[in-house]
Amino acid sequence: MFRILLSLLDNGLWIRLEAPIYRARQLQKWNLTLKLNDVIKDCVALKLDGRATDGAIQVFGGNFLSEQNPVLPIEVREKETLLWMMQGADDVHLYIASGTFHINALYKPANRFPATRIYFLKTDNMLMLASIGVFLEQNGITLRPIHDTGFSELIDDRNYPQRFSSWRQERDNETRSFEGLYQGRRKNTAVDGAIWLSSNGKCLVCGTETNRVSTSTIKGGSGLLIGLQLCSTHEEEAQEQSTLMNYVAMHLGGMVMFDNFKQVSASEILELACDAFKTELGCVIEKVQDQTITARRPSGIAIIVRYVSPMNYAYNVQAPNGTNLSRVDSANHHDVPYGPDHLHPDLRKSKKKIVESSFTYGNVGMDVKLIRKMVSDAEAWLMTSNQ
């Protein structure tokens, strides 16, 4: 099930629709060319024209823009795909750079996307170039050669810094809450990357204006946080689906983007927790009973994990005598900026009222960074108290 978390921000009510963690069946890093080609593949399968396909690319492409590069280059896999993108492009041409031929379908900067998108094939083989040229001409496309000055004018690189600056400011406003969540999770969990599916402050499905933020996390070797915006109607609809990623993929044109991922079950979470305790935290597993794991460090510090669901879990770090030293839990009874998941960093009498957002998932493998910090603090206290 999805979880709804509420937090009041300066610009009104923010709702985070948090889905369970997904694990990659094939552990691979997010690859720009691979994934954007998957978007194109879905769009072609739906018979969306080149212009509509480019619009879908803009949803993902903002994550890969930089102030230094006025072009988002996407090398396609097949000449048929290039033809598809050429049939809606602002310009098609042959550009030669460092002895390599680039056959380009170019889409000019858009109102909410500052960079030129170029879909291309490249070759340094004259015979291959001729073969592609004949194929395109047979389908009504004639390539014209273009020089450096003409290319510079087409991508309007001179005005790109100003376009990028304006876009960056608007995007920062749009993603402020998501960025805060990402920074917290990067600090405390295995998350080390984020993708924002930009819909310019509107529902990704229907285009209605919204300030809601929905997120989901995909775990391979590390974690990838994905954020998007849905209106209240489509939030409710998404909750009826088995996974948020399936729901999003269905509305973005297919399943190719997310077909390597599966939801992690509660039993897998506990099994993975035992593995993480032993390999990541140097613990011995003392007891596994029902939904609770007790693990112990060589120092005597105990870590007790209770996991029922992403909405119902807790981590307790205890001294050897059983005194509670710190805790993370998901109970919704504290006012924290990102919650209800929260951290009690020090449960000693003088400091036990200190509470902060934990940014955790309830998955020890994902949350090991924060748990390691809790254990380190506990062992430092134990060493001091024994002196």
Query: Within this chain, do residues 285 and 321 fall inside the same structural domain, yes or no?
Result: yes
Query: Within this chain, do residues 346 and 318 fall inside the same structural domain, yes or no?
Result: yes
145 cis-preceded (ω within 30 degrees of 0): no
Tell me what the pLDDT averaged over the chain comes to: 84
Query: Within this chain, do residues 201 and 322 fall inside the same structural domain, yes or no?
Result: no
Name which of 50-54, 69-73, 221-225 the model is least confident about: 221-225
pLDDT in tens, 230-248: 998 888 888 776 667 667 7
Which long-range contacts link 183-188 to residues 24+ away (Cβ below 8 Å)?
184/338, 184/357, 184/359, 185/217, 185/223, 185/225, 185/359, 187/359, 187/369, 188/358, 188/359, 188/360, 188/367, 188/369, 188/370, 188/373
Q: Tell me how long the chain is.
A: 387
pLDDT in tens, 248-273: 766 655 544 555 456 677 888 899 89
Q: Provide mean pLDDT across the span 146-154.
A: 94
- Domain membership flag for residue 57: yes
Among residues 167, 184, 202, the one where a domain terminates is 167
Query: Within this chain, do residues 187 and 213 fall inside the same structural domain, yes or no?
Result: yes
- Domain membership flag for residue 370: yes
Domain span at residue 64 reads: 32-167
Query: Within this chain, do residues 40 and 19 fall inside the same structural domain, yes or no?
Result: no
Q: 343: which strand partners? A: 328, 356
Taking residue 197's Cβ as centre, other Cβ atoms within 10 Å add up to 17
Residue 2 scores a pLDDT above 60: no
Query: Within this chain, do residues 7 and 55 fall inside the same structural domain, yes or no?
Result: no
Q: How far apart are CA 278 and CA 295, in angstroms?
A: 9
Query: Within this chain, do residues 237 and 132 fall inside the same structural domain, yes or no?
Result: no
Query: Within this chain, do residues 119 and 14 fall inside the same structural domain, yes or no?
Result: no
Strands 12-24 and 261-263: antiparallel
The verdict on pTM exceeding 0.85 is no
Whole-number pLDDT of residue 266: 81
Task: Looking at mean pLDDT, say which of 21-35, 323-337, 338-352 comes out highest.
Answer: 323-337
Where residue 221 falls among pLDDT bands split at 50, 70, 90?
low
